Amino acid sequence: MTSGYILLTLRAYPEGKQWVSECLELGTTSCGASIEEVLENVKDATLLYLQTIDANETRERIFGEKRIRVLSGDPPALAEVRGRARPNEVLSPYVHKVSARAV
């Protein structure tokens, strides 16, 4: 298997006294006390989700349903976010290396 990567979009926004975050493509969510904390928390949740679908051998189906493409080669040094943030919202790219098997 060759190496590849996926590019995901993380969104964070304040809700009350905390921050809420989600991976727009996969639907994983988290919360935290600061932007930095909430983005780390949603990365951890997303990584756990990706490891689980790999272990359950459901990645191909889920990526197909969610239209996530595995891009071949090495990930870019700087990834761009798809979309625009609303007021009080932060968008952040999340690049994750995966094996580039057919999806």
54: alpha, beta or left? (left if phi > 0; alpha if psi -120 to 50): alpha
- Position 10 in a domain: yes
For residue 58, give the CATH number of its domain.
Answer: 3.30.160
- Position 103 in a domain: no
What phi, psi does 42 have (nearest 5°)?
A: -75, -30
- Position 81 in a domain: no
pLDDT 10s digits, 70-103 = 998 877 777 777 777 788 899 999 999 887 654 4
Domain count, the chain: 1
Pick the closest to residue 57 from 8, 97, 101, 95 (CA basis).
Answer: 101
- Position 79 in a domain: no
Which residues, 6+ apart, have CB-to-CB distance to 16 below 8 Å? none
pTM above 0.75, yes or no: yes
Question: Is pLDDT at 1 greater than 60 in this prediction?
Answer: no
Pick the closest to residue 49 from 84, 10, 81 (CA basis).
Answer: 10
Q: How far apart are CA 63 and CA 7, in angstroms?
A: 12
- Position 82 in a domain: no
- Position 23 in a domain: yes
Pick the closest to residue 10 from 19, 32, 25 (CA basis).
Answer: 25
- Position 101 in a domain: no
